[in-house]
């Protein structure tokens, strides 16, 4: 009897492990904000209520699936316009508006799964989607140069980042002042050499350069 119970327990654990592995999704992440995220408190206080309400979030799936739909190699991004500085504990930035940019290499089922995945990861920030745009997507993270990444989302958005260096310490008291806007398994702040959005749906476009306003990381669910 004990032997049968042991066999059943082993089978159950194996089945659960297979199920969890089948649901796992992992990949690369890139984020930019219109306010510095790596900065000193004095600089951050100078930007609050003035900037920091615009953002781009992008996920590139290295492996895995969502809702049973395989998404390996596909990318989805969101451009966001909030009511206030994102991350400010004294201000409510919601409701926010979002435009989702979805990989045009995905089939309709994959596009739907990418959108659900992005909204799950983005939470309240991506609750109100103004428009969904299929477009050519590319997100590359340079594994040899930490903090270096490139996002191209058709003609709508471009982000290029580099690592933070000694020349980026302006006051000597810099820290990661704001956390990333989504749950990540690893992240590091970076400099956004280019951060542009010129799509519809938000009532605004932006073209920013040289801000310490980016995160490069990885996700796993």
Q: pLDDT of the chain along its 221 residues, tens only?
A: 454 544 444 344 344 344 444 459 999 999 999 999 988 776 666 676 667 899 999 999 999 999 999 999 999 999 999 999 998 888 899 999 999 999 999 999 999 999 999 999 999 999 999 999 999 999 999 977 889 999 999 999 999 999 998 887 776 677 888 999 999 999 999 999 999 999 999 999 999 999 999 999 999 99
The position carrying tokens 């002042």 is 177
- Residue 12, SS3 per DSSP: helix
Q: Would you tell me how many other CB atoms lie within 10 Å of the CB of residue 2?
A: 6
Q: How far is residue 68's CA from residue 122's CA, in Å, rounded to a whole number? A: 20
Residue 22 has what pLDDT?
A: 45
Q: Is 84 exposed, middle or buried (0-12, 13-18, 19+ CB in 10 A)?
A: middle
Structure tokens at 135: 């477009």
Those residues whose C-beta lies under 8 Å from the C-beta of residue 8, and which sit 6 or more positions away, are none
Residue 40: what pLDDT?
A: 73
pLDDT of residue 157: 98
* 216 neighbors 27 (Cβ within 8 angstroms): no
For the entire predicted model, the pTM comes to: 0.87
In the prediction, which pLDDT does 49 show? 66
pLDDT at 168: 78
Question: CB burial class (10 A; 0-12, 13-18, 19+) of residue 129?
Answer: middle
Residue 146: other Cβ atoms inside 10 A: 14
């Amino acid at each position: 009897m004990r032997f049968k119970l042991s066999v059943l327990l082993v089978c159950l654990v194996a089945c659960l492990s297979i199920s969890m592995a089948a649901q796992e999704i992992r990949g690369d992440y890139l984020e930019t904000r219109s306010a510095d995220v790596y900065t000193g408190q004095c600089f951050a206080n100078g930007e609050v209520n003035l900037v920091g309400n615009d953002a781009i979030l992008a996920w590139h799936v290295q492996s895995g699936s969502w809702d049973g739909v395989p998404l390996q190699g596909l990318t989805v991004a969101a451009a966001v316009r909030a009511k206030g500085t994102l991350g400010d504990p004294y201000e409510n930035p919601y409701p926010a508006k979002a435009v989702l940019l979805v990989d045009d290499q995905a089939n309709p089922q994959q596009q739907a799964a990418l959108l659900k995945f992005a909204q799950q990861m983005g939470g309240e920030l991506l609750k109100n989607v103004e428009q969904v745009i299929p477009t050519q997507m590319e997100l590359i993270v340079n594994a040899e140069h930490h903090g270096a990444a490139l996002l191209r989302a058709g003609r709508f958005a471009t982000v290029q980042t580099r690592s933070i260096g000694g020349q980026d310490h302006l006051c000597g008291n810099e820290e990661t002042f704001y956390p990333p806007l989504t749950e990540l398994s690893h992240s590091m702040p970076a400099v956004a050499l280019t951060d542009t959005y010129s799509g519809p749906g938000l009532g605004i476009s932006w073209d920013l350069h040289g801000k310490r306003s980016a995160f490069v990381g990885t996700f796993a669910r």
